[in-house]
Amino acid sequence: MRALVTGAAGQLGTDVVTNLRNSGHDVFACARNELDITDLVQCQQVISQYQPDVVIHCAAYTAVDAAETDIDGAYRANAVGTRNIAVAAESTGSKLIYISTDYVFDGTSMEPYQEYDNTNPQSIYGKSKRAGELLVQSLSSRYFIVRTSWVYGIYGNNFVKTMLRLGQEMPSLKVVHDQKGSPTYTVDLANYLLELMSTEKYGIYHASNSGACTWYEFTQAIFEEARQLGINIIAQPEPCSTDEFPRPAHRPANSVMEHLAIRTNGFQDLRPWREGLRDFLQQWNVTESK
């Protein structure tokens, strides 16, 4: 297949491009300097010229706290930019995969969120990503909306890399223990997107590594697995509440998402989050030791 990837230099986009090429697909990797998603004319020109079978839209404004004051910037990228990609993809008959987020939910549910539960985003980031979802649904006839959570990978900055650095520098760390979610390794998510794009099973999907934990439990696992690899982790994590670390943007207390659509559409679920973490750490350790 011919695939065009936006946000191709980002954390997820880099792994998506790598996996597509390794699988023999023809890929046009569009970083920001190749494609400005906020420019409708450019989106139409680039996508029309390439004629992709599928557009995987990874580009997004993801600075959750900064979005609270940069409201126009968040909506310009996540709503207007997504509209532009949807319009351009629809005009060429391309399938569209839009990467969305657990932040479209308010996090107050006692149960994992299913794909068709009512959304109620509480942050500007979540609201702007939900706006993108609505535009995809209204403008595209062949779309997959894939919500994911707690993403980390080899490329870019993320929670796991931060904990690995702090774990080697600090004797103790306070980590939030009242927010629950599912960590997602970019390689596992990218593999799922490759499987999804070859189908006609359009709709909304929740895709994260299986299982759930709190940020504190995630940190414990990061340190345990890192020590198994001989990484010199000196820190001891200590649980704390969200109230002890006030942030500009609201964080959902429950970000766990049910994978109902994956199961009912006959897909293999993503593997447990700790297995993904283990593979990430092995790759990270090799990269760091070079």
Active site residues: 125
DSSP count for the chain of H helices, then E strands: 10, 12
Check if the beta carbon of residue 8 is closer than 8 Å to that of residue 29. yes
Placement of tokens 């704390």 in the chain: 240
Q: Quick check: helix, strand or coil at residue 104? A: helix
Calpha distance 196→174 (Å, rounded): 38
DSSP code string of 67-93? GGT-HHHHHIIIIIIHHHHHHHHHHTT
Calpha distance 215→210 (Å, rounded): 15
**Residue 272 phi, psi dihedral angles, 5° rounding:** -55, 145
Placement of tokens 């998506």 in the chain: 16
Spatial neighbors of 86 by CB under 8 A, at least 6 apart, are 96, 98, 135, 136, 139, 140, 143
Check if the beta carbon of residue 50 is closer than 8 Å to that of residue 224. no
Check if the beta carbon of residue 99 is closer than 8 Å to that of residue 12. yes
